[in-house]
Amino acid sequence: MEAFIRFTNQTQGRDRLFRAAQYTCMLLRYLLEPKAGKEEVVMKLKTLESSVSTGRKWLRLGNVVHALQAAQQSMRASDLVPRVCLTLAHLNRVVYFVCDTVLWGRSVGLAPGIDQEKWRLWAARHYCCSLVLSLLRDLYEVSLRMEQAAQDRAAGEKSASQEPLGYSVADEETEWLQSFLLLLFRSLRKHPPLLLDTVKNLGDILIPLDQLGIYKSNPGVIGLCGLVSSLAGAITVAWPHLRLKTP
């Protein structure tokens, strides 16, 4: 109970709960729409989804400052790749939050003359750039972990004296794929923060790609991916030691 209270007392914790509720409504609405007699439930879910989305905008009003602070911290990273990727990712998030604030002002009537679609497009572009850069950082970290795991495995194995009879190119390709997947699984299993961050970013990337028309998805896929990424983000808020640290 204390952990839940501590979680909900944080702005990020409340945002993750609102976000999970929003995408849960989207997923349920997609699943119930084809069924007869569910029109009223679908309308209620749509209204709840819209209300939760509006509530999340209130929670994100101060995120520009947090993103700027994160960019400053990432600039001090010792490794070049995370330093560049994270700094650019946070700067893109700054622009995204600025666009999001402008859209919030438009929705509440503070800036009625704003071109809503243009600002939405800008927000989606910078959100997408931020996620792509974050994924590049994740892939870099995964490659380092896999390289270390490969070295550890090679050190513990004895090389075969000769190749088995009947060895073919197809066998070699199959063995390479199995070895690659096994290394990937072991690397992510030993580093839960990297796994959670990768899952979160992979789930989120479909949202701006759909908004930009680069890769169209249906509301069911978007809802499921948004829910999974929200839960992954909520875990890192509830247990900070599972948050991927900047080297």
Does the pLDDT value for residue 162 go beyond 50?
no
Give per-residue pLDDT as tens, 214-231: 988 899 999 999 999 999
Is pLDDT larger for residue 17 or for residue 57?
17
Side chain identity, residue 41? V
Residue 229 confidence (pLDDT): 95
Give the tokens for residue 28: 């349920």
Residue 106 confidence (pLDDT): 81
Neighbours of 10 (CB within 10 A): 12
Domains of the chain: which residue ranges? Answer: 1-59+194-247
Single pTM value for the model: 0.85
Look at 19-33, 86-100, 145-159 and tell me which has the smallest mean pLDDT. Answer: 145-159
Does the pLDDT value for residue 160 go beyond 50?
no
Residue 84 confidence (pLDDT): 95
Residue 4 confidence (pLDDT): 60
Q: Please state, for a pLDDT cut of 70, what percent of the chain lies above it.
A: 89
5 pLDDT band, cuts 50/70/90, is: low
Is pLDDT larger for residue 54 or for residue 193?
193
Across 33-39, average pLDDT: 87
Residue 50 confidence (pLDDT): 87
Give per-residue pLDDT as tens, 187-202: 888 899 999 999 999 9
Across 61-80, average pLDDT: 87
Does the pLDDT value for residue 42 go beyond 80?
yes
38 pLDDT band, cuts 50/70/90, is: confident
Residues 6+ apart with CB under 8 A from 56: 15, 18, 19, 22
- 95-130: b (≥16 Cβ within 10 Å) or e: bbbbbbbbbbebeeeeeeeeeeeebbebbbbbbbbb
Residues 6+ apart with CB under 8 A from 35: none
